[in-house]
Amino acid sequence: MKKIVLLGSTGSIGANTLQLAADFPDRFQVVGLTAGSNNDKLLLQIRRFRPQVVALADEKAAERLRRQCRSRRDLKDLKIEILSGMEGLVRTATLDEADIVVSAIVGSAGLVPTFEAIRAKKPIALANKEPLVMAGAIIQEEARRRGVAILPVDSEHSAIFQSLSGQRRGDVHRLILTASGGPLLDLPLAKRRTIKPAQALKHPTWRMGTKITIDSATLMNKGLEVIEARWLFDIPPDRIDVVIHRQSIVHSMVEYRDGSVIAQMGIPDMRGPLAYALNYPERLPLGLPALDLTKVKALTFELPDHKKFPCLGYAYEALKTGGTMPAVLNAANEIAVAAYLSGRIGFLEIARLIRKTMDGHVPQAVKNLEDVLEADRWGRERAMKAIS
């Protein structure tokens, strides 16, 4: 029985993880859950999975949850700790009983809990890519020092991880990340200015949280994944390529020096890569619909249009610049996406805001997590000032 702490349980990856826990009760036990502020959803999860610790980032939401739990008869006998704030998230992430931590908070809020889970020597099933974007070198160094495995959940990185299995690292020529292209792939540049969030949130192949769906529409998600791949697989940016693959069947590929390409395929369902990370190296009978390539018929691959999707280039640039620049890129993107979703800026301004914030930043070397958090603060402030 594997005991799971799930950070970000009320989100899309959280729901998929809990679905797996419900489908395989003899394999997984949920011992800890965390969320941002959604106490109602967390309450439902507590009733279903009966964890020993939960935490909400928002103090008031945690207080509401305590009141809800006290008033429920079915929870009277449950010994549960309800924690709050960053301290509560970290305590849950480092729970003694946990065998594995699923890192599925969205954005930079996941950095400290994920880092502390690594320091507590917990294997990580990593969905939350932003911490690696912000602090890849520091996180990987900490994981190496503590002998902690970081198992990718992102479908692209899971595909690369699987395609590297049994191969010699020295034989790898390049990684090829696939991208669906998101909902706006074919929309001409001139029409992008007026795109409303409702349109940008209509992803053609994946159901995901709002932030990552907008990141998919700008291709920033692929840029963040390039940075994630650089740190997960220790490979330089000029050997990581991106191709548009509309069908989301080939999840990514590795090209070897003899010209062979190994790819991993499957239907687009996050339970595949999640279960692989949670139960590695054993595969579980997930009962998902079979991939029928005769129905898919054609698999297509195209080069991304950097004029339409400047964010992809900005991510490469930030990665090559290094130091604090990736954290600043990430911070500006988080602020820009939130501003777009709340109607404060237009779609094209997401990229402009990131560009402006990066242009105003003088990158510094990163020695520790505090340097990264400081760069994150700087990037947020600068981007917010630019909006207002």
Q: Which residues of the chain form contacts with ligand NAP (CB under 6 A)?
A: 8-14, 35-38, 57, 89, 104-106, 109, 127-130, 154, 206, 208-212, 270
Least distance (Å) from ligand NAP to the CB of residue 21?
A: 15
DSSP string for residues in 250-280: EEEEEEETTS-EEEEE--S-THHHHHHHHHT
Least distance (Å) from ligand NAP to the CB of residue 39?
A: 8
Residue closer to ligand NAP by CB (options 110, 191) is 110
Amino acid at 165: S
Residue closer to ligand NAP by CB (options 16, 279) is 16
Element (H, E) at 54: strand 53-56
DSSP 56: E
Residue closer to ligand NAP by CB (options 255, 334) is 334
Q: Could you tell me which of 268, 63, 77, 57 has the C-alpha nearest to residue 178?
A: 268
Is 200:186 a contact under the CB 8 Å cutoff?
no
Q: How far is Cα 251 from Cα 245, in angstroms, rounded to an integer? A: 9
Q: How far is Cα 224 from Cα 329, in angstroms, rounded to an integer? A: 9
Least distance (Å) from ligand NAP to the CB of residue 359?
A: 25
Element (H, E) at 59: helix 59-71
Least distance (Å) from ligand NAP to the CB of residue 168?
A: 28
Is 306:220 a contact under the CB 8 Å cutoff?
no
Residue closer to ligand NAP by CB (options 125, 168) is 125
Residue closer to ligand NAP by CB (options 98, 127) is 127
The residue sitting closest to ligand NAP, measured at its beta carbon, is 11
Least distance (Å) from ligand NAP to the CB of residue 65?
A: 11
